[in-house]
Structure 1
Amino acid sequence: MKIKSLIIIIITLTSTFSFAQNGRLMKQKKEQVKSLKVAFITSELDLTADESVKFWPLYNAFDEKQSEIRRTKMKSYLDRMDSENFDTVSEKEAATLLSQMESSEEELHQLRKKFISNLKSVIPAVKILKLKKAEEDFNRKLLQQYRNKRNR
Structure 2
Amino acid sequence: MNIKKLLPILLLLVSTSFYAQSESMKEKKEQIKTLKVAFFTTELDLTNAQAEKFWPIYNTFDDKQFELRHQKMRAFMKKMNDGSLDKISEKEANTFLAQIQDTEEELFLLRKKFTSNLRAILPASKIIKLKKAEEDFNRKLLQQYRNKGSK
Under a length normalisation based on structure 2, what TM-score does the superposition of the two structures give? 0.82
Q: Higher relative CO (CA 8 A, sep ≥ 6), structure 1 or 2? A: 1
- SS of the residue 1:47 aligns to: coil
What is the CA-CA distance between 1:92 and the residue it aligns to?
Answer: 1.1
Amino acid at match of 1:128: I
Structure 1 CA distance for aligned equivalents of residues 143 and 130 of structure 2? 20
- SS of the residue 2:105 aligns to: helix
Structure 1 CA distance for aligned equivalents of residues 126 and 36 of structure 2? 16
What is the CA-CA distance between 1:71 and the residue it aligns to?
Answer: 2.4
* Greater share of residues in helix: 1
Calculate the aligned-residue CA RMSD, in Å.
1.4
Deviates more, 1:83-92 or 1:139-148: 83-92
Structure 2 regions of 5+ residues with no counterpart?
1-20
The 5 Å alignment of 1:72-87 reads: 72-87=71-86
What is the CA-CA distance between 1:27 and the residue it aligns to?
Answer: 2.0
Identify the residue that residue 114 of structure 2 maps to in structure 1.
115
- SS of the residue 1:52 aligns to: helix
What whole-Å deviation, never above 9, does each CA across 1:55-83 have from its counterpart, x for those lacking one? 00000000111111122322222211111
Under a length normalisation based on structure 1, what TM-score does the superposition of the two structures give? 0.82
Structure 2 CA distance for aligned equivalents of residues 30 and 62 of structure 1? 15
Larger radius of gyration: 1
